[in-house]
């Protein structure tokens, strides 16, 4: 009997046939037994439908029809899922061969963890890793305007958190729907940083974050300002402290205070594999 948690993965796509199949294969070929995979195509005319049909026996659901954009496609996809753990992977990005099994291990071993992210990786046009870098972000970094990268391809969460956060992406946002979801998650639970790579994003000219003449950044700044204005005074005060110290050499002081345990509220909880215990643990 399969005791592994069900993982719901959604891929939204529109006219991305050049990359779509490699994305789908990166999910399917992991052969994770609890996979629930949904593909939502926006009515592509470039051969994407044929690519999807090649793999439809591995899909829980797929459709190709006009939609209201990226967030609308994701909302449609997640509405077709029921897994305990959730994520999405865009149609030019990839998961790694160990991704889903690792995610299942982490959530099974650490019931207090509600959402995670891995170490960000950037892919070249051919799909191979081009750069890997550590990035750590908490709610105070976000409110201070100094948030590190939260790589969407590496983020996974429990359905219970999704439900508490509203169970939908904001379709009024053209580009920063993911960032808005992360902010809602931050209000409810800390983000844990798993010390391995889980997903990679491919750099190409049609990426959503690259269109709209900086629209993603403008939407992100608007969302941060809105969250800061709604925060309590203690949270705003802490954010101001992080902003004041989080530039130049002050960044090292902030990290040092965190490491020394002097700022017990300023945490970037990390998840590492303990080889003696044989499982993932929080550090």
**Contact at 8 Å (CB) between 98 and 230?**
no
**Contact at 8 Å (CB) between 111 and 189?**
no
Q: What whole-number percentage of the chain has pLDDT above 70?
A: 94
Whole-number average pLDDT of the chain = 92
Alpha-carbon span 30 to 89, nearest angstrom: 14
Counting every residue written for the chain, the total comes to 283
Alpha-carbon span 109 to 194, nearest angstrom: 13
For every residue of the chain, which 3-state class applies, written as one string? CCCCCCEEEEEEECCCHHHHHHHHHHHHCCCCCCEEEEEEECCCCCCHHHHHHHCHHHCCEEEECCCCCHHHHHHHHHCCCCCCEEEECCCCCEECCCHHHHHHHHHHHCCCCCEEECCCEEECCCCCEEEECCCCCCHHHHHCCCCCCCCHHHCEEEHHHHHHCCCCCCCCCCCCHHHHHHHHHHCCCCCEEECCCCEEEECCCCCHHHCCCCHHHHHHHHHHHHHHHHCCHHHHHHHHHHHHHCCCCHHHHHHHHHHHCCCCCCCCCEEEEECCCCEEEEC
247 or 190, which is more confident? 190
Highest mean pLDDT (candidates 36-45, 235-244, 251-260) = 36-45
Q: Has residue 213 got a pLDDT over 90?
A: no
Domain 7-282 CATH assignment equals 3.40.50.150: no
Q: Has residue 1 got a pLDDT over 50?
A: no
pLDDT digits (tens, 9 = 90+) for 264-283: 999 999 999 999 999 999 99
Q: How large is the average pLDDT for residues 155-178?
A: 97
* Residue-range domain boundaries for the chain: 7-282
- The answer to whether the predicted template modeling score (pTM) of the entire model surpasses 0.75 is yes
pLDDT digits (tens, 9 = 90+) for 139-163: 999 998 876 679 999 999 999 999 9
Alpha-carbon span 223 to 167, nearest angstrom: 18
pLDDT digits (tens, 9 = 90+) for 111-142: 999 999 999 999 877 667 788 888 899 999 99
């Amino acid at each position: 009997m399969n005791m592994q948690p069900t993982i719901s993965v959604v891929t939204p796509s529109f006219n991305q046939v050049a990359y779509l199949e490699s994305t789908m294969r990166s999910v399917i070929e992991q052969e994770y037994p609890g996979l629930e995979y949904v593909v939502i195509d926006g009515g592509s005319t470039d051969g994407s439908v044929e690519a999807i049909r090649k793999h439809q026996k591995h899909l829980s659901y797929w459709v190709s029809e006009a939609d209201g954009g990226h967030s609308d496609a994701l909302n449609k996809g997640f509405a077709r899922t029921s897994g305990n753990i959730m994520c999405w992977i865009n149609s030019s990005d990839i998961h790694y061969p160990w991704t889903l099994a690792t995610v299942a291990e982490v959530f099974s071993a650490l019931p207090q963890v509600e959402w995670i992210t891995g170490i960000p990786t950037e892919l070249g046009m051919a799909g191979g890793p081009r750069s890997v870098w550590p990035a750590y972000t908490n709610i105070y970094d976000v409110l201070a305007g100094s948030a590190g990268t939260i790589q969407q391809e590496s983020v996974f969460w429990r359905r219970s958190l999704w439900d508490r956060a509203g169970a939908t992406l904001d379709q009024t946002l053209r580009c920063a729907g993911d960032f808005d979801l992360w902010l809602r998650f931050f209000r409810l639970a800390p983000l844990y940083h798993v010390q391995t790579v889980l997903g990679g994003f491919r750099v190409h000219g049609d990426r959503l974050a690259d269109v709209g003449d900086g629209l993603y950044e403008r939407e992100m700044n608007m969302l941060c300002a809105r969250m800061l204005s709604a925060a309590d005074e203690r949270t705003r005060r802490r954010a101001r402290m992080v902003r004041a110290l989080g530039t130049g050499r002050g960044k090292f002081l902030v990290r040092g205070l965190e490491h020394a345990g002097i700022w017990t509220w300023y945490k970037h909880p990390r998840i590492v594999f303990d080889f003696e215990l044989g499982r993932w643990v929080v550090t």
